């Protein structure tokens, strides 16, 4: 089994688990919103990270993302879904 095939199956599995988790959370409190951080937002595959599903599953949620490359950050912001903002900042200690 090739690496791309393994990655595709893993993403599908994670997406399914994220949907199950979202459903369980909504059973307890359906009006929750989340603020998530993405450090290193450069896309490494054609698929969005699974946690982006929370934007659809929990309206009002948002993702604050950091990408040190300002040009890539600008491109990401130009195509960002609602609730996602990218900042051209490197997080260090």
Taking only the tens place, the pLDDT of each residue in 18-42 is: 889 889 988 998 888 999 999 888 7
User: Quick one: which of 11, 75, 16 has its CA closest to 41?
Assistant: 75
* Region for residue 55 given its phi and psi (left: phi exceeds 0; alpha: psi -120 to 50; beta: otherwise): alpha
Express each pLDDT in 37-83 by its tens digit.
998 887 777 777 888 888 988 999 999 999 999 999 999 999 999 99
Strand order in the sheet with 62-66: 35-39, 62-66, 84-87
Q: Taking the complete model, does pTM exceed 0.85, yes or no?
A: no
């Amino acid at each position: 089994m090739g690496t791309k095939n393994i990655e595709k199956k893993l993403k599908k599995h994670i997406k399914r688990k994220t949907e199950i988790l979202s459903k369980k959370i909504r059973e307890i409190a359906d009006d929750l919103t989340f603020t998530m951080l993405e450090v290193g937002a450069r896309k490494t595959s054609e698929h969005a990270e699974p946690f982006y599903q929370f934007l659809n599953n929990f309206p009002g949620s948002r993702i604050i993302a950091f990408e040190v490359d300002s040009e890539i950050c600008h491109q990401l912001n130009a195509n960002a879904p609602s609730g996602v903002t990218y900042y051209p900042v490197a997080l260090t200690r």
